[in-house]
A and B are shown apart, each in its own frame.
Chain A
């Protein structure tokens, strides 16, 4: 088993899937010769050639549209949005076409496309390079949204996304790309989409989060453990549709739940998680369900102190956890 970074896990999953299935191809801006602005597709152009690793014009609508069309004709496209922030021109293609084609055609057509996009802040990316856009897509039945936290999950879930017969949005936290490293099995494996994963067992408080938030929670949990506070951490992994069963189980486990996202608080994924808990766990709750999220301001600021204010971090998670533990 090799230790690799989050982004290496992306590249590995792509390479293995392209080797396994010749219908898999990549398209996006600078994904070919350059190997992607983050180097996620590094070396794939050399290995598989220009026909399977396509450099496209700066047109996200076309990247998504071409991918969806190819997918409907039986290909397995993996489209890359250079930044999740730039996905907006492609929203119509994704929501109105990809998400609905199976339903609209009564199962005659489907669009097995994977759309990858780096999201998230904390990299001084400011407005156009820091957004969390998952909530935009999170009430569109027909879509799946995967947001892995570890290299292990990246590999297993990206493979699952590519093999999935319906469109999957695969959001990778750009700060995790080189920050997060972990053991990844060499062999071929897939992880189930739609299943959350317990990243830490504990019985005092429950933290439910996803993406980079998982690591913040894990770091906070280490500090909390020194004071005897035992944190249970559930990684959603798939944020749409949500793994209700796992959420209910995790919430019931401690009755004190903190939900964490770096997205703006109102209307974020965790609001839906809170609703699931409210609907199902009333008699197990020992405290109000709490949320830790970005403020409701339009964009990630560029100024470092302000970005720090906006971003969640292990200290903020720890503080919120303590507050809940003491309740």
Chain B
């Protein structure tokens, strides 16, 4: 026998740590190589950690909810060593038969806890603790015949062990209890209320938002941009574009492009707070907020400054499809340097975004609204949009952000059929 460690895996290029959300195994469990042992959350991605070995879980060194750096040990696993080791270790045991048993148990046990209706019924009727039964079916499954043999033999696995387990369980429950009893009146549910446990992505969003708002001193700024020409340009192209390319030429793609261009000129906004230093990023990777019914994701358009409007539109489309079908990978969501939030899709005209930690700023693109505007002392009907910037006041000040926004405004207002190609 040898003791091996399983460590927090690197789940994505830029991921440095992971939080164990759920343990899928407990000490004593026999597992096969590649069996999932824990659910780990990083950067809004949930992933399962597969076992690197076949063997028996010895000890879990991390608790649920604990965050560990990549490479840190999360559990110990006992694996069977060479043939000679097995015999030497088992020869000490009083029962020679166990050699065979343990060997068999080492095989695939993935079906061990899959009980058929017949097995469950027989186990209940005869008070058999299925945890104590060895299965002979595929993947260690306990078959109806296994149970029938036990019943016929009269050697029903003792209940004593089961009771010990139960006592332990109830004891541990009691320990947990006091925490749960602290419940204010407002948190109690009444008939008809629905309790939704905060887990997984929701929990990650909550934690990240709390970190952002408590750590980052937010400041806000809004400018109004006349995008009449941009709207005209986009409308002149959109039908043909859709027919040719198969996806929509959205306004958002124009904004991503313009922001990327402005960031190139104002790298201060394309930076990260790192405690004792500010890191100005060279790459311009725009995080975009994409939501499905329950969850919010921020996949990243990498090197947005090097892409055409068409390329960006294509990427937005692909990322949105992935987000809606839950197929985003941590790779898709890592490396963002600045976030653009398309709040306009909800009809919003003004909002205060929470910065996507640890970035320096987030820009909300609001609804484009046709409004009367005075140009040369005359009223004109113009397509207007508000851009709302939230900035990390540790990194940025009003002056630089004001310049950035004005430059952005300039770029957007100059976006028209003569100056801009989407290809």
Binding site for B on A (CB under 8 A): 204, 254-256, 282-287, 326-327
Contact = CB atoms under 8 A, between A and B. Distances in A.
A interface: dominant SS: loop
A286 B136 CA distance: 13
Given A204-B145, A255-B144, A285 B138 contact: no
B121 A283 contact: yes
A286 B119 contact: yes
Contacts of A255: 116, 118, 144
8 contacts: A255-B118, A284-B121, A285-B117, A286-B116, A286-B143, A286-B145, A287-B116, A326-B137
A282 B144 CA distance: 13
Given A204-B145, A255-B144, A284 B117 contact: yes
Interface of B: 116-121, 137-138, 141, 143-145
B interface: dominant SS: helix
A254 B121 CA distance: 14
- A-B interface, 7 closest residue pairs, ranked by CB to CB distance from nearest: A286-B144, A283-B121, A286-B118, A286-B116, A255-B118, A255-B144, A283-B117
Contacts of A284: 117-118, 121, 144
A282 B138 contact: no
Contacts of B141: 327
B151 to A, nearest CB: 14
B379 to A, nearest CB: 69
Contacts, number: 32
Contacts of A256: 144
A256 B118 CA distance: 10
Contacts of B145: 204, 286
B116 A285 contact: yes
Contacts of A254: 144
A282 B137 contact: no
B143 to A, nearest CB: 6
Given A204-B145, A255-B144, A283 B118 contact: yes
**Of A282, A283, A326, which is in contact with the most chain B CB atoms at under 10 Å from its CB?**
A283
Nearest to B145: A204
A267 B297 CA distance: 45
Contacts of B137: 326-327
**Of A255, A284, A285, which is in contact with the most chain B CB atoms at under 10 Å from its CB?**
A255
B219 to A, nearest CB: 61
Contacts of B138: 326-327
Contacts of A287: 116
A31 B326 CA distance: 67
A209 B121 CA distance: 28
A105 B232 CA distance: 77
A138 to B, nearest CB: 28
A232 to B, nearest CB: 13
**Of A284, A286, A287, A326, which is in contact with the most chain B CB atoms at under 10 Å from its CB?**
A286
Contacts of A286: 116-119, 143-145
Nearest to B136: A326
Contacts of A285: 116-118
A206 to B, nearest CB: 12
